[in-house]
Amino acid sequence: MSCLASCCAASTCGLCSSVASGISKKSARLAYCGLFGLSLVVSWILREVAAPLLEKLPWINTSTHTEAWFQQQAVLRVSLGNCLFFAILALIMIGVKDQNDRRDSWHHGGWIAKMVIWLLLVILMFFLPNVVITVYGTLSKFGAGLFLLVQVIILLDFTHSWNDAWVEKDEQKWYIALLAVSVGCYLAAFVFSGILFIWFNPSGHDCGLNIFFIVMTMVLAFAFGIIALHPAVNGSLLPASVISIYCAYVCFTGLSSEPRDYVCNGLHNKSSAVSTSTLILGMLTTVLSVLYSALRAGSSTTFLSPPSSPKSGGKKPLLEGEDVEEGKEKKEKEARPVSYSYSFFHLIFALASMYSAMLLSGWTSSSESSVLVDVGWTSVWVRICTEWVTAALYVWTLVAPTILHDREFF
């Protein structure tokens, strides 16, 4: 056992050294994504194989527990180490506004030290008492909800920015493109919702809850268009159509998370076993979704952009007055502003660690088979509530300007 651990440690250190030496300043964000992805893979592997090992640790196996409980412990402990790593970085990076700050080099460099610290944190989590992990599991539910909220705000920001970018071109072809994309998204949303009726409303069964979810999704999509095109709102059809198809997708993910033995889950209830390829595909989709959301949210200028960042100030020049050209080079030599908030970037990864832990642990519910990822009624309601929160936030961005005239929204 010790020989195997030594070999693994040596291999990990060698891999870390070779990877760290090839990370440039421009690829730092991708490197953080890679480290986060590695944590998810480690969580998944330990979820499958670590239960027998954890049963032998007296400070973890304090009473009679099921295999699913030990699997959750493995996932939550890796997640806690990963979350602490990014939370510490988020605290260290508070207030970094320009690249002359020493912490800018800490953010982009020191990768061997970072990987060693990350590994030590993950290992140390397995020596903590169960009560700490229980508290973290509870906090992770709120952190995961906050991460989903950030996803929604990022989507809203993206749709409004996309619409404004095409409208600003003020050319007929771009208006036609706006109309075409909007109509296409709406058609896709309603067609997809119709397919959901076939998949999740099998004939011969009373599936009123599923019908309610699907009908509500279609009603929301219709309401988005009506409200956006109302003269008092002065909205656009493109954001409404994109949010509509997103809500349809979230509804699908919620319904597909229903227990496999639920008769109304017509998409999955015919297969009693889950193939390895299906598990890998599902896990890969989850990893890519979390990584994309974390990267985009952490890099977005919508959230906590540094005051000195060119993007945070819109089109306002950094220097004003008659000496703009003369002082430009001097200003750049003195301090080049960072392009995004380093602190918020790491905070998003910390929240994403909580979210991924909830996915892999079934939101710490042991009612569903431990073989499956993100399946169970808790997952269903989290997805459906996310859809409704998305709808509420989008409607608020449309209605708020007519109510609060002295404030700016998107």
Q: Please tell me whether residue 257 adopts helix, strand or coil conformation.
A: coil
- The pLDDT score that the predictor gives to residue 293 is 66
Question: What's the number of CA atoms in the CB half-sphere (13 Å) around residue 329?
Answer: 1
Q: Is residue 174 within 8 Å of 166, Cβ to Cβ?
A: yes
Sorted by sequence, the CB contacts under 8 Å of residue 142 that are 6+ apart come out as: none
pLDDT < 50 regions, the chain: 1-21, 272-275, 301, 304-325, 328, 332, 369, 410
Percentage helix, strand, coil for the chain under 3-state DSSP, each rounded to 5: 70, 0, 30
Q: Is residue 137 within 8 Å of 364, Cβ to Cβ?
A: yes
CA distances from residue 117 to 6, 43, 86, 113, 127 in whole angstroms, order as listed: 18, 17, 11, 6, 16
- The pLDDT score that the predictor gives to residue 11 is 46
d(C-alpha 199, C-alpha 385), whole Å: 21
Q: Is residue 348 within 8 Å of 147, Cβ to Cβ?
A: yes
